[in-house]
Amino acid sequence: MRARLAAVLAALARDPLAWILLAAAAMRLTGLFWGLPASDGWDDDGFAPRNFLTALALTWTPGSFFTYPPLHAVLLAIPSLPVAGWALAHAASLHQHDVIAEITRPGYMTYFAVVARLVNLAMSLGIIWCVGAMARAIAPARARLLAAGAAALNMSLVYYGQAGNLDVPYLFWSCLALLAAMRAIAEHDTRRIWHAALLAAAAVATKDQAYAVFLLSLPAVLLLWFAADDWPRRNARQVIVTLSLAAATAAIAWLLVDGAITNSSGFAKRIAFLTGPASGDYAAYAHTWAGWRDLLADMADWFAAGYAAPASLLAAGGLWLAVSRRADRGAWVAGLLPALAILSFTVCFNFVALRTDARFLMPQGVLACVYIGMAADWLLALPRPRALAGGTLLLAAALWALHFCIAVEAAMLRDPRYDAERWMAAHVRPGDRIETYGQNAYLPRFPQDAAIQRVGAGDLKARNPLPGVNELRQPFDALAARSPRFIVVSQWWMRHYTEPQSELGGRRSPSKVQQALFGDLRARRYFRALRDGGLGYRLAHVSAPASGIWPEVHIHESLNEAIAIFERTP
């Protein structure tokens, strides 16, 4: 056994891909405890530490639903079950209030958050491996390493590879499905069609938007396969029967896991919610040609910032190489699948949801690495003088991308909320009343001996509770009656009430939700007066993003956002 293990480790040490994955893992471990320990996470819209428990409770409850599908919740529940059972055993009773009060303690929540982040870390490494395997399926061996290296330097994948969101898990299953489909086509192996279908079902059962990766790409690549390669035509019966059985089985498995069969009314409500307020209310562009043009322009700006223009040119060049190589018709068709998946996601999700957040551009950025690897391999295979110039270009592009990846880690390690917490520890006295606003993901951790109150106009039952925080449903401007000593608020969150623009600026137009917030004249007057030093409060401290050699990276509305602390004047 020891000899076998030593042989495996020696083989891994000789494989450059293992070193790429090791470096990627080390980078992601840097921010693993970002904002922890705590009773909730700073990763906005994170599936852990709390939402996966809610998904398990609601998905199969007749008439109920949760925003996301339950597959990843089931996966997270396996390592979380012993700790969840311990929390239930120590709750004052099994009444919902007592269970929530116990299980939202920082110790339990930190464990759930770390488990989810470690799972995302492993899946992000799986995505990097998949990208390398895709490149190897259609290009020389060296393209595998170059494509995997490019994926390891994807800024969004670095962030979400250490957060608790669902974007890495669904992309992991999607990449595995695309890889299986590419191998089925390139190797004329119909058994892999089963793998592709079931893995695609797993992707959609993890996060619904995965449908957009496959909706156009798989039908298009199958049509191309039959048109360009005579093998599927000669074996049409076998291929069509396998496709039909695999697609039907995958659809049934997806509907069963997603609760559509056991909780059809809840499933229908969830689909109505996803296609209605969950997407339409947050659309950042107009449903016009001008809106789509601005959407594409913002996509180009994002890629230019994170990957740099040379990497985009490399992706285009790699796609050209994939299109122009037609000696092996099966491999040629397979080589087009990542590009078709990029097109499918852009048309079926970005153009429909009208959003270009970093997480909604990650499929395009990751899959483009297949072609970046192919183009990089071609450059290095040129005669020596030109290969040296190509290698210099590749090194510059890699260093640029690494610069932004390290900036993500620096932003996590130097999050402004850490500075806000240190300031409060030095200035807040026991019993001081602190008022705050906004969701959990935007807030620092407050001193335990202070009296914390969170104010808002929404239904108290809809808020994600925080232990020790008194939830108040009051108008913001009833401040005099509450009279806190300090007010602590995320400047990004407050900006919804003070500036008539979207959170990321650029060519985006405000969503319906943002328009409604800015249209609240009473709240707008309150926050503008607070910002400008009125209401009897002064700006005592601003915890701003740290300056230095790393660019100021903002991802998903929670990373690197400033915290303003106001103090009541005498």
| Rounded-to-integer distance, Cα 64 and Cα 58, Å | 6
Q: Are 273 and 58 in contact (CB under 8 A)?
A: no
| Rounded-to-integer distance, Cα 310 and Cα 317, Å | 10
Residues 6 or more apart whose CB falls under 8 angstroms from that of 22 comprise none
Q: Are 164 and 116 in contact (CB under 8 A)?
A: yes
pLDDT at 502 over 50: no
Name the one residue in this structure whose structure tokens are 């079926």.
Answer: 348
Q: Are 201 and 218 in contact (CB under 8 A)?
A: no
Cα pseudo-dihedral 258, 264, 268, 269, rounded to 10: -90
The three-class DSSP label of residue 486 is strand
Hey, what are 11's tokens?
Answer: 């083989």
Name the one residue in this structure whose structure tokens are 């269970």.
Answer: 99
Which helix (H) or strand (E) segment holds residue 451: the answer is: strand 451-456
* Displacement of CA 87 from its chain's centroid (Å): 29
With 0.85 as the threshold, say if the pTM is over it.
yes
pLDDT at residue number 503? 40
pLDDT at residue number 5? 78
**Quick one: average pLDDT of 307-318?**
84
pLDDT tens-digit map of 103-118: 889 999 999 999 999 9
Q: Are 370 and 148 in contact (CB under 8 A)?
A: no
Q: Which of 530, 429, 535, 427 shows the shortest CA–CA distance to 481?
A: 535
Residues 6 or more apart whose CB falls under 8 angstroms from that of 519 comprise none
pLDDT tens-digit map of 326-347: 778 889 999 999 999 999 999 9
pLDDT at residue number 7? 78
Amino acid letter, residue 95: H
pLDDT interval class at 505 (50, 70, 90): very low
pLDDT at 507 over 70: no
| Rounded-to-integer distance, Cα 159 and Cα 420, Å | 22
